[in-house]
Structure 1
């Protein structure tokens, strides 16, 4: 369904800017893909009305770090450590054809939308060839979500700086489009600083943000200090993880104006040291949440928010509230991706990335007394009734509107069997 004017009527609205707040019996008016008003009894003239009675209405979730192609490897790295996980990627990744990448990325992106994730950074370290990269970009576009395509280097080698230039100039030149681009190299934890300098030069040349995994490794035991000494600290960087870094290095990230992505589910499952989200927030780093890898963790934001909330109760850090965690999943995530001007809250003028959760399901009954707590502690993907991306309805009455879902499911199963050698 696509309408130039949509009125979401009489919902339990949660806005997240500047901080999460619940607004009962509130409307959201959308026109030409943008939010134009939030309030009570807004005029319905010329609008398609969506009844939000007994529903929570809030900004779509923002997943700041996911390897979307791994939807074909779900559950492949359970009860293993990070080293074994990387070995699994090295074993199966080279078996993915461009068509397999398209199928797995499309399925993973649709999974995001189905669970209320409307914005997603795809750290696509499956760029074995230009055709692989094109397949991932095509799939993100076909899914209909807001995405940042992160051109990544496979763990077994691949990709090229020339292809980064090609994609930027020929495929993803428009930074205002629904699918935009970032550069996702291995970074200072896994490559020498001389290599990092060349990669940063490419990012500067192409005006791209940079994102990479960061931790203390034999290559660089203090990678953020190494960046500082090389003059490479800057704002347009999204650091992923950082669990093994000291507070002094995390403070450097904050002082540089950069941001971070914490993946509490995957970090816990793969043994990435103690939780980092609370430390990042305490030290002033804008921090979003990321699924990271469905090989090892759940693929929905509800599970992530609960993991972050519970982890914060168990470490020697200020305990996060439900409002803190919900903001990480929405506005802070958008800010971490450099997209806070267009998504992450219901502020008029922003693009209408909006989700609606049912309050009459058995697990959400009576939750209207505290909608923010309900979203973080009680809701799950089954409760996601309606999803809009830039005003386009992509899920309604609990069902995705994307055509060919059965075909995508069949092809994903075929890809999973093929790469597993069956």
Structure 2
């Protein structure tokens, strides 16, 4: 049509392109081009001519072109708390991290969320499910959502009311009684109606962990919100002495909430689907239930290993139900682990091998030549299987014509760590030897968000600040961090611990020091 807007185009020329066949095996195409038009991969092949003189041609000789990585569980707002959870378990994290949105003003939430998104992009994440438990007020939600949009990342923003305190100082820590305030349900409904559409890079979802509330209340809320466009609800699930020894899976099954992910275009579903994070320690029966219902799981090996939640779900063939389970990877808390899905894939692969080898050793035997799990399996958890867990497998997660242009370009030839591994197997090179510093370009929805090894300037909408380079963004985060720390200094963490354990009805006799 004559008045159709001109198409922007990027040609990635002559790279080693990682594609997938119908069985999810990675097919390596060397000396191959990828043509991007606007937000779509238009063609993958050899010797593609630039469609116009304005096409941006990027020389990818000596580079690996990978699908963008998919992170299915993250709390992006927590950047200003980075480092303080490095030596903490789950209980300490809950009152010094999860509850600490109390010390954030909406502006702090913006900078924490924005920098969390940018750190993820820097490490090659192009899509993230954000369990955004930072919603203290409507303004906090608005700030976090706007920061996500400003970053340019593809996301499902899981709107989650924070664990709120009515009063918290050195003398007291009193929880707010209204767990699902009317303003939150109203705001979430408005966001769903006004924001979720085919053109939105950021979809509105929901985070929810309040399964002790009345069944009719929960299901009624979900049904109403589904009518407004809610597709995905994410929830923390694990079985242990702190989070509870009962079966969340059986409860959710009785509510008829366990189902296979469906895409945004699905209109007949009467309820949203659930993506369950962690699932450590649950029974084989519960795992089988998740597998047979197609319920997706996000495994976060870093935080789960550190915080005593149990062995990560993922690649262990000894857990037969996992073979058909929809498993993906998440970072969880970038306060104690970098925002690298590849790092999570690497940890899961090696932890799975430790577990299997330990079982063999306990039988008085020794593992022979082969090991459990492959780099290809780990790579797929980080790409196509992650996409499917979000119901987006037809749009992202692999490189093929017609899919969204979410791509990561590794400078393999210039990498110190990937030297020689790339010639052996580019998938092994990425999963086992790459670093964020090896990622030269990150493209999200056809737009370069990292170029030449550096994050591109971000258009900051807060106070209409306009384009901002990373160094200036980082300085804003440091300023915010100082302000937050001053507020934290006025809070009693011991009172917070007592309140938390009371809220969870924790049997404190079961809590022991890991040292």
TM-score tier (shorter): over 0.9
Distance 1:91 1:145 in 2: 26
CA contact (8 A) 2:291 2:322 kept: no
| Change over 3 Å in CA distance of 1:293–1:234 after alignment to 2 | same
Q: Does 1:383 align with 2:423?
A: no
Map Cα deviations across residues 311-363 of structure 1 (whole Å, 9 max, x no partner): 11022499221000111101111111111121111111001111101112211
Partner residue in 2 for 1:307: 347
Range 91-100 or range 278-287, more displaced: 278-287
Q: Does 1:284 align with 2:338?
A: no
Map Cα deviations across residues 128-180 of structure 1 (whole Å, 9 max, x no partner): 1111111111001110111110011212356622221122123x221541111
Q: Does 1:228 align with 2:253?
A: yes
| Change over 3 Å in CA distance of 1:133–1:210 after alignment to 2 | same
Which protein shows a greater Rg? 2
1:37 aligned residue (40, 43, 66) = 43
CA contact (8 A) 2:238 2:278 kept: yes
Range 83-92 or range 329-338, more displaced: 83-92
| Change over 3 Å in CA distance of 1:70–1:16 after alignment to 2 | farther
Partner residue in 2 for 1:356: 409
CA contact (8 A) 1:269 1:297 kept: no
Partner residue in 1 for 2:29: 23
Partner residue in 1 for 2:367: none
Partner residue in 1 for 2:303: 266
Give the TM-score taking structure 1 as reference length.
0.93
Long gaps (5+) in structure 1 = none
Q: Does 1:294 align with 2:329?
A: no
Deviation of 1:257 (Å): 2.2
Counterpart mapping for 1:2-401 below 5 A: 4-17=8-21, 18-46=24-52, 47-89=55-97, 91-156=99-164, 160-170=184-194, 172-188=195-211, 191=213, 193=215, 195-208=217-230, 209-216=232-239, 221-235=246-260, 236-278=273-315, 279=319, 282-316=322-356, 319-359=372-412, 360-369=414-423, 370-401=425-456
Long gaps (5+) in structure 2 = 1-5, 165-175, 261-272, 360-370, 458-466, 490-515
CA contact (8 A) 1:184 1:210 kept: yes
| Change over 3 Å in CA distance of 1:231–1:394 after alignment to 2 | closer
Map Cα deviations across residues 44-89 of structure 1 (whole Å, 9 max, x no partner): 3423211001111111111111000011111221222111110112
Deviation of 1:234 (Å): 2.8
RMSD value, Cα: 2.1
Deviation of 1:239 (Å): 0.7
Give the TM-score taking structure 2 as reference length.
0.77
CA contact (8 A) 1:193 1:227 kept: no
CA contact (8 A) 2:278 2:300 kept: yes
Distance 2:115 2:252 in 1: 36
Range 290-299 or range 213-222, more displaced: 213-222
CA contact (8 A) 1:197 1:232 kept: no
Range 76-85 or range 16-25, more displaced: 16-25
| Change over 3 Å in CA distance of 1:53–1:418 after alignment to 2 | same
Secondary structure of 1:168 counterpart: helix
Secondary structure of 2:157 counterpart: strand
| Change over 3 Å in CA distance of 1:176–1:245 after alignment to 2 | farther
User: How many residues are treated as equivalent by the alignment?
Assistant: 419
Distance 1:184 1:205 in 2: 17
Secondary structure of 1:126 counterpart: strand
CA contact (8 A) 2:193 2:229 kept: no
